[in-house]
Amino acid sequence: KALERHRQTAQLLANCSVGHEAWVVAEVIKAGYRRAPRRQRFATGFPLPTSILGPLHDELRCTRWPPAPHRAGMQTQQYLVLHRGKVNEGYDTLARCIDDVLAWADPDFGCNMVAVTKDFQGSPHIDASDVTYQYAVSIGDFAVGGELCVEGEHADEVWVVNTKNSIAKIDGRFIHWVRGHSGGERYSV
């Protein structure tokens, strides 16, 4: 479905997806977007209070990451999934810090899982298990890049969202990814 949406938006030949593997179609679509780039819309999240940001950043720096990422196929140094309302053995303090962020941002927001990453970038994907919007935060010493990119209602637009030390509400049911970054570590929640 997503490939068809992009094939139409990039105005590619109707038969480019017939008989070809999905990765071939995706490469043709990417070439189409290089020829005619999508419109970018820029946004910035709401800054987190230092009373919440500081403890979360400290905890992320000393997190003992699992030996294997909890989600395969992502371009990230570390990937951890925490379950809200359940025991997260070894990650209790981190889970409390995340609960503090969500209580500050939206006390009535209900979610049962939270993804926590270190140096995530690229990896366009859809969060198939999402049933509503999600919140996104990035924290770290990175100096350049690291914006969260989210496709809009129309495939010809991309929201470029600065989430550094801030929280943004996005819809993970649309294709999204993280721009490359440099100058230090980047954590995301």
| Cβ-contact 89, 74 below 8 angstroms | no
* DSSP code for 174: S
Can you give the pLDDT at residue 165?
98
Enter the pTM of the model: 0.82
Can you give the pLDDT at residue 67?
79
Which residues in the chain land under pLDDT 70? 1-20, 22-23, 25-26, 29-30, 68-69, 71-75
Copy the structure tokens of residue 23: 């990765």
Can you give the pLDDT at residue 17?
52
How far is it, in rounded angstroms, from Cα 150 to Cα 158? 6
Query: 3-class DSSP state for residue 68?
Result: coil
How far is it, in rounded angstroms, from Cα 1 to Cα 153? 14
Tell me whether residue 33 is exposed, middle or buried, using C-beta atoms within 10 angstroms of its C-beta: 0 to 12, 13 to 18, 19 or more: middle
Q: What angle do CA 188, 130, 52 make, to 5 degrees?
A: 35
Counting other chains too, the contacts that 1-6 makes at CB distance below 8 Å and 24 or more residues apart are 2/126, 2/175, 3/29, 5/155, 6/155
